[in-house]
Amino acid sequence: MKAFTVERYGDQAGMRAADIPDPQVRADDVLVKIHAASVNPLDFRIRNGDFKAFMPYRLPLVLGNDLAGTVVRVGPSVTRFAVGDEVYARPDKDRIGTFAELIAVHQDDLAPKPATLTMAEAASLPLVALTAWQALVERARVQPGQKVLIHAGAGGLGSIAVQLAKALGAHVATTVSTAKAELAKDLGADVVVDYRTQDFEEVLDGYDVVLDSLGGENLAKSLRVLKPGGTVISVAGPPDPAFARELGANPILRLAMTALSFRIRRDARRQGVTYSFLFMQASGDQLRELNPLIDTGKIRPVIDRVFPFEETLQAMEIVEKGRVKAGKVVVAMT
């Protein structure tokens, strides 16, 4: 099959198009013909080797973390899917590889594709929708009437998180550039902060939850808009001890993660709030829970553009250089 592989860690020069063997299908696996996949910042971080200390992939590695496609074969223990089913997924972190014609995915990581979406639309959702769900529903347990701040509300994650928070009944604020303010309002944001002309720390106060996808100074300032007992959940900040335990990291790696997040955790404690790092997990069951919200229009995908499969490297470059106007970039195999 055709695929885009990482031959060596580093920049885009370490990737190439290649012909590789078709995936092996285990007893609980579903073999999916991929119709579309989407590009995520996680792809660059894996390609660059940022996670090799705790996710030591064997190279060459097929990149890609989102897919939508059709089932073409099932393993003997599969009970939830049949040949011909339309599905979507974020494969488990140890079994990524959606920039390819085929992929074998464990049945527990798959879900039926939302009926109202095209393949390209469905492929844009799994990673960001699962991240938003695990942050706002599982970890923060957002309740109606709570105040939630979603940073970068026109981005891939932010655009879905704003809609999910609104569907949960929250009062939602977001930060965007001037050009994206109308989109943020259309997605359901109650308060839109133009980060080019406003400092969100001076505008917002008393929030229950912040979802941070930017890290750095943005993360530090996010602590100060929370009310006592509030929480900031970051997908871009330093890993914390809870993540190290979840990962089953060795003692040296646990110490390293504890040290990396020491300052932000200390600052959070001083302000009576909490800091939490999130690395999302694959879950077909959670995608199934999201499907009714998608099919009723409460969550809709935001797609910037669709590239043909052979232009996957160009699609990655567009995202990496920040040339996306809003939402996600997708590559289509068919």
The pLDDT tens digits for 112-133 are 999 999 999 999 999 999 999 9
| Cβ–Cβ < 8 Å for 208, 147 | yes
The pLDDT, as a whole number, for residue 213 is 96
Q: Give the separation between CA 119 and CA 89, rounded to whole angstroms.
A: 11
Report which secondary-structure segment, H or E, holds 251.
helix 251-260
E strands, 7-66, where?
15-19, 29-39, 61-62
The pLDDT tens digits for 281-301 are 999 999 999 999 999 999 999
Q: How confident is the model at residue 137 (pLDDT cuts 50, 70, 90)?
A: very high
Q: Give the separation between CA 63 and CA 202, rounded to whole angstroms.
A: 40
The pLDDT, as a whole number, for residue 204 is 98
Q: How far is CA 304 from CA 78, 156, 194, in A?
A: 35, 9, 20
| Cβ–Cβ < 8 Å for 44, 77 | no
User: Nearest to residue 106, comparing CAs of 90, 119, 117?
Assistant: 90
CA angle 146, 149, 152 (to 5 degrees): 155
The pLDDT, as a whole number, for residue 260 is 87
Confidence check: pLDDT of 251 > 90: no
Q: How confident is the model at residue 252 (pLDDT cuts 50, 70, 90)?
A: confident
Rounded mean pLDDT of 35-44?
96
What are φ and ψ of residue 228, in 5° steps?
-55, 135
Q: Give the separation between CA 111 and CA 123, rounded to whole angstroms.
A: 12
Rounded mean pLDDT of 306-323?
96
Q: How confident is the model at residue 249 (pLDDT cuts 50, 70, 90)?
A: confident
Report helix, strand or coil for 42. Answer: helix
The pLDDT, as a whole number, for residue 84 is 98
The pLDDT, as a whole number, for residue 245 is 86
> Could you say which architecture CATH assigns to the domain 2-125+301-332?
Alpha-Beta Complex (3.90)
Task: Burial-class residue 26 by CB neighbours within 10 Å (0-12, 13-18, 19+).
Answer: middle
Q: Give the Cβ contact number of residue 246 at 10 Å.
A: 13
Fold adopted by 127-277 = Rossmann fold (3.40.50)
Is it true that 2-125+301-332 and 127-277 share their CATH fold?
no
Annotated domain spans of the chain:
2-125+301-332, 127-277
Rounded mean pLDDT of 239-258?
86
The pLDDT tens digits for 161-191 are 999 999 999 999 999 999 999 999 999 999 9
Q: Give the Cβ contact number of residue 135 at 10 Å.
A: 29
Q: Give the separation between CA 224 and CA 267, rounded to whole angstroms.
A: 10
Q: How confident is the model at residue 105 (pLDDT cuts 50, 70, 90)?
A: very high
Q: Give the separation between CA 245 and CA 225, rounded to whole angstroms.
A: 29
User: Nearest to residue 326, comparing CAs of 139, 156, 212?
Assistant: 156
Q: Give the separation between CA 147 and CA 163, rounded to whole angstroms.
A: 14
